[in-house]
Amino acid sequence: MSLNTVRHNYKVSKSNREEHHGHRSFLIWFTGLSGSGKSTLANLVEIELHKKGISTYSLDGDNIRQGINKDLSFAPEDRTENIRRIAEIANLMVDAGVVTMAAFVSPYIKDRENIKTIVGAENFIEIYVNTSIEECERRDVKGLYKKARAGEIKNMTGISAPYEAPISPDIEIKTDHQSIDESVKKILDFIIKKLK
């Protein structure tokens, strides 16, 4: 942190912005293996919230890595920095009064704990999209598992890099055993109560 900066406090607060939007704001963090369904679920949840007039925004791993985080690799230290930057962006979005969805593999428990520190535990909902590696490989929507098995991708979570599952997520979605509609309903039922 620069020693020559001083935080400026503006007169319009998060609570003012939440009042303007007509609902609370918080971060909904979808974590799970590549191909687990994180982005699909985040997108469908956002559609339903948008229909209800909720101000939303979605942050997605692939999209972010094509822009603000395009300088980062998939090495462990860069994965940590990737998640830290996303948490800081999400914190700004939540402060703006927007319900923010974030769909990121985010394989390390310590990084997800750091997100809570940045945005505040009261503003953080962790959704573990628990899909077996076998199902993720069967889907392989981006062809990443095939490349990882062929040795073309290094540090592939679930193959050559670890995934540390959440110990007590707010919501666990088992996409091997739940339909998309059931999963979205489970998430919405949890979120709607928190909007008030």
The model carries a pTM of: 0.91
* List of domains in the chain: 21-133+163-195 (3.40.50.300)
Give the whole-angstrom CA distance, residue 140 versus residue 144: 6
* Predicted local distance difference test score (pLDDT) of residue 10: 83
36 annotated as belonging to a binding site for a ligand: yes
39 annotated as belonging to a binding site for a ligand: yes
34 annotated as belonging to a binding site for a ligand: yes
Q: What is the 3-state secondary structure (H, E, C) of the chain?
A: CCCCCCCCCCCCCHHHHHHHHCCCCCEEEEECCCCCCHHHHHHHHHHHHHHCCCCEEEEEHHHHHCCCCCCCCCCHHHHHHHHHHHHHHHHHHHHCCCEEEEECCCCCHHHHHHHHHHHCHHHEEEEEECCCHHHHHHHCCCCHHHHHHCCCCCCCECCCECCCCCCCCCEEECCCCCCHHHHHHHHHHHHHHHHC
Give the whole-angstrom CA distance, residue 56 versus residue 14: 15
49 annotated as belonging to a binding site for a ligand: no
* Predicted local distance difference test score (pLDDT) of residue 193: 92
Positions marked catalytic: 106
* Predicted local distance difference test score (pLDDT) of residue 73: 85
The pLDDT tens digits for 90-122 are 999 999 999 999 999 999 999 999 999 999 999
33 annotated as belonging to a binding site for a ligand: yes
The one-digit pLDDT tens for each residue of the chain (196 residues) are 567 777 878 888 889 999 999 999 999 999 999 999 999 999 999 999 999 999 999 998 778 888 888 999 888 899 899 999 999 999 999 999 999 999 999 999 999 999 999 999 999 999 999 999 999 899 988 888 888 888 888 888 888 888 999 999 999 999 988 999 999 999 999 999 999 8
